[in-house]
Amino acid sequence: MGVIKDILRTMDYGPSPEGSEHVKAWLEEHAGGFGLFVNGAFTQPRDLFEVFNPATGEGIARATQGSPADVDAAVAAARKAQAKWAALSGFERSKHLYALARHVQKRERFLSVLETIDNGKPIRESRDIDIPLVARHFYHHAGWASLIDSEFAGTKPVGVCGQIIPWNFPLLMLAWKIAPALAAGNTVVLKPAEYTPLTALAFAAICVEAGLPQGVVNIVTGDGATGAALVAHAGVDKIAFTGSTEVGRAIRKATAGTGKKLSLELGGKSPFVVFEDADLDSAVEGAVDAIWFNQGQVCCAGSRLLVAESVAEALYAKLRARMANLRVGDPLDKSTDVGAIVAPAQLERIKRLMREGEQEGLEFFRADESLPARGCFYPPTLVTGVEPASVLAREEIFGPVLVATTFRTPDEAVALANNTRYGLAASVWTENVNRALEVAARVKAGVVWINSTNMFDAASGFGGYRESGFGREGGREGLLEYRIADAPKIKPSSAKPARLNAAPGLLPARAVAGSELDRTAKLYIGGKQARPDSGYSYAVLDPAGREVGLAGLGNRKDIRNAVEAAAKAGSWGAATAHNRAQVLYYAAENLSARAAEFARRLRAMTGASARAAEAEVEASIRRAFVYAGYADKFDGAVHATRSRFVTLAMNEPWGVMGIVCPNEAPLLAFVSLVMPAIAMGNCVIAVPSASHPLSATDFYSILDTSDVPAGVVNIVTGEANALAKTLAEHDGVDALWYVGDAKGAAEVEALSAGNLKATWVSASAVDWRKAEGREFLRRATQVKNIWTPYGE
């Protein structure tokens, strides 16, 4: 211990340990091991695995390895409780969530210390960030629970939710998952990470103390096999997963075709962009929070520093000086800045990636590599001279490592920021507000912080683009993940699959029904009619088996060409919503002018009565008008989050969307699916009804005369499931809607795991007369939350 005069001179921090006696006593009470929490009670401990303190390597507890039978029991308890929980008034559910928030607050110190011992993060972070945010999420969603009926009219709870959380924010991730699920009227089975189950088990005890009804929350501990059993369980209606992209991809495949709702919050390689006019001292402090917070074990960590070349060396110098003052050590010391890596396996992964970086000849800086003699520690590290192709620039390190690359122009900065398969978050540092907002709009990320980083609040959605997953957690958009449309049940479709009578080139002339309508329809790609790459067409038959026309038999190459055309038309998304509305109104006007022609086509193809055909065309015109009206009225929001921040929730188009239409209502279904997508700024590749494609191919003459830019709508006819498979596999497709049969729906979901594109599938018949509204618009967009400083 130094003398006071020396401490005043050097201003060095001395040790400031946080007391842990109460946590140790609690752990000793459970020295025999922790059971599972099922149906409101703990089971007897068995099949135990060891839980370690990463800062010391010592075993601190033992938890039960959940089996498939345990998952069965937990799901059964959740199912039994769900109807009663959903039947409670919003006010009653609100009171339960409020009680959970209050009990968390009463035990803030206990939970903070337990989290730090179990996870290795500094006590300052557990105490000042994690646990207060846990309480905030339960308070916030207590409010939503009481507003469900008025704010989410026409929706109902999903049912039983399986939730799998990671080890980097064990209790906070639990709150992110459980609070909205309960507020929305669901029950849950949650599996915490194998490394860090203890605060979840402590929360289970809080559920008992707070009087939460039995079975509403169930917690099953275990390793990946337990999580896999939960994902595969037929009694689960929704899976919510936070973790690695690799596991998220496996979950997408496992849930394909099951009808389970799915949300994924996955990995990231987030850019931290510093322009030449930025306040460098503030940017340095931001970088400390971005990458050395929680030892860099943060999915949205600002791990890629992109800095203007003119200020790079000055920023690096400031960073090195700041790194020299970071204290690495005992996480229970209130003066510690960087704690322990969660487990030896994760520490070894970091070291392996760093060895690969060293082999590439990169420059490393570590202020002080003297680390505690025991435990899983890694020093804060700055790596400069990193090329975009470097393994350290591409791979998520998930450790306290900042990799730096320089840029010269704003365009280059945006290109580098988007040069990743991820898209979770970004941080932009500049004193130029116009530049900040321009870059925020162009960066492909679900969250953008301006002159700030790692800002979180229960009122704001959080989630990623691209291979960082889909779905949001927090705010209104997060709650919607736990509700589904309360639509009337419709009998499954009895329509038979289309018969594609393919033959080389043009088919021989035959007796044709309605010969005045006979034509060979081409594909429509990039604003032009195009012959199918296969050179084949197929006969379109009426219900009596008579040929009414020919349609092109599209293939993989045609889809490729259509995706390329759609990608080139990306400026459609940048057009004003008013301009998009005008185009849609114009299309509706032109369809109205040719209503009789389209009605005759429907009668010839489908055998519908004149009255029914006219009604379908009229409904299609109305549908186009509806989405023209919505184009400039589907607003974002300003979330009420932190003081002095405006958090903008912006609805952004996916980009390139695939749309596979059903055989039923061939014109109305086509219009009902394509119009909301393009109204929101997407460009689409539409596969129309395979049995009755000619209404859609006639529609491209409407597009030609309605100022729809080339490539915004592309139409590829042919066998629907084969083309859907190609769209699902294509990495250039950002989202895919499919209405068809169960086999096709399952295949679309499974194959979409390649680039984790968002999907919306239906294998049931749809009442297309009523199929419109905000749900279509919500599915046609993704939310970007932009945190902008406001005032002083």
Which listed residue (265, 547, 616, 664) is catalytic? 265
The separation between CA 72 and the C-alpha centre of its own chain, rounded to angstroms, equals 28
Say how far apart CA 747 and CA 736 lie, in whole Å: 12
Say how far apart CA 407 and CA 310 lie, in whole Å: 9
Say how far apart CA 42 and CA 622 lie, in whole Å: 57
Q: Does residue 299 have an active-site annotation?
A: yes
Say how far apart CA 258 and CA 261 lie, in whole Å: 9
Helix (H, G, I), strand (E, B) or coil at 55: coil
Select from 594, 528, 521 the least CA-distant residue to 551. Answer: 521
Say how far apart CA 157 and CA 187 lie, in whole Å: 9
Which listed residue (161, 207, 299, 661) is catalytic? 299
8 A C-beta contact, residue 378 and residue 340: no
The alpha helices in 418-547, defined as continuous H runs, are: 433-442, 475-480
8 A C-beta contact, residue 131 and residue 171: yes
- Who's near 428: CB < 8 A, 6+ residues apart? 273, 275, 436, 439, 440, 443, 448, 449, 450, 451
* 188 phi, psi to nearest 5 deg: -135, 150
DSSP 8-state code for residue 588: H
Say how far apart CA 509 and CA 511 lie, in whole Å: 7
Select from 379, 381, 402 the least CA-distant residue to 286. Answer: 402
- Who's near 299: CB < 8 A, 6+ residues apart? 166, 168, 242, 265, 266, 267, 268, 396, 424, 468
The H or E element spanning position 467 is none
Which amino acid appears at position 723 of this protein?
L
Q: How many CB atoms lie within 10 A of CB 348?
A: 12
Q: Does residue 92 have an active-site annotation?
A: no
* 788 phi, psi to nearest 5 deg: -120, 125
Catalytic residues: 265, 299
